[in-house]
Amino acid sequence: MFKIVPRGFPREMWVIFAGDVITSLGMSMVFIFLSVYFNLVLGISLTVLGLIWMATDVSSFFSQIIGGALADHFGRKRLMELSLFLRGAIWVGIGFVDSTSTLAILIVVSGVVASIFWPASSAMVTDIIPHERRAEAFGLWRIGGNLGWGMGAMIGGVLAALSYKLVFIVGGISNIAFGFLVLMLLKETLPSKVDIDKVEQKAKGILNTFKDYRTVLYDRRFVLFVMIGVLIELLYSQSNTTLPVYAVGQNIINTRELGYIWALNGWSIVIFQMSITSYIEKRNISRMLAVGSLIYAMSFLVLLNATGFGMMLLFMSVFTFAEMIIAPIQMTFVANNAPEDMRGRYMGFFSLAWGLGGSTGPFIGGRIIDVYS
């Protein structure tokens, strides 16, 4: 039988799980249909759209680095609350803005605000979950996100057909709802029982907290892992930026079918992620990372030959299988290699993979489509 729901996790983990379901529902609406809206409705070229994504991701990278240090200094909960409430307000505001330039600015700002949530929440999960169960916990976290992602993809297809403003409004409300869950149900988890050296280190102040990123840079094995992550993200970033525009713009599928495609992604992860995680956590991490990367490449070969809904379903099936292998490996590697007093900074620095790959990928992909299509 498939192992879907694990047992024995603390309540805080389930609060994070529930909140991730809620926010991912709204997030999938925004990120799946945003590129379609900008390109096919507003007429913005994919090159310009790629530049917007690049500005968003570059800004988000630096804010994640800062967010990781702040999470280690001020605590996880405060950063999570700040990010969720601000992002929710910005997304609701986007629903009432018609100016293209203003929309672009708000999207960049929302990305910056959103990016401080990830290192804080990841550090919180690492704080509350013992070493031997972290792969399982991060797998569960992905299930929550993808359960919401699958539902949001289908709902977003319906809302986008009615009004794209509804997509942003619902997305904003989902973030605000999770913010209240964090406010009312979660407690701070920043480790307090540390040795004398760590106490003295913290007493140096927030400036030295940022300076301690040098320790991360000296971890050559970790830096190499991040560089590999950049290459993976370069490919993965096409999935919710250029891919929707390509698939809908080339009349391979319509917007409703686009929602179904991404629902398959989310719900497949819900059903199979824990079983796959249980298998790969007993295997060599480097080998599994190589296998997952190869399967990613194979999925895009399927996409090149896609002519209809059926082939797009096949593409997403292969793509999702690769995602289920790579994602928990990445999170587990970071969590297990980060010193207790530097978890936020390690999580924040790992965002380099998302920042560089995620920022350059959409621009490169968009430019290629604009020039050769």
CATH class of the domain whose range is 11-190+199-372? mainly alpha
339, HSE (Cβ side, Cα atoms, 13 Å): 12
Residue count of the chain: 373
Q: Is residue 231's pLDDT more than 90?
A: no
**Residue-averaged pLDDT of the chain:** 83
Reported as a pLDDT band with limits 50, 70 and 90, residue 206 is low
Taking alpha carbons only, the member of 77, 91, 73 closest to residue 27 is 91
Separation CA 30–CA 28 (nearest Å): 5
Reported as a pLDDT band with limits 50, 70 and 90, residue 1 is very low
Q: Is residue 202's pLDDT more than 60?
A: no
Query: Which of 97-106, 160-169, 255-264 has the highest mean predicted lDDT (pLDDT)?
Result: 255-264
User: Which one-letter amino acid corresponds to residue 160?
Assistant: A
The pLDDT assigned to 194 comes to 47
Share of the chain above pLDDT 90, in %: 15
Residue 240, token pair as written in the block: 């919710």
Query: Which of 4-13, 201-210, 248-257, 295-304 has the highest mean predicted lDDT (pLDDT)?
Result: 295-304
Separation CA 19–CA 26 (nearest Å): 11
The pLDDT assigned to 211 comes to 63
Separation CA 30–CA 240 (nearest Å): 10
| Average confidence (pLDDT) over 198-225 | 66
The pLDDT assigned to 212 comes to 65
The pLDDT assigned to 80 comes to 92
The pLDDT assigned to 112 comes to 86
For 177-194, what is each residue's pLDDT tens digit? 999 999 999 888 887 654
| Average confidence (pLDDT) over 356-361 | 81
CB 72 within 8 A of CB 211: no
Domain map (residue ranges) of the chain: 11-190+199-372
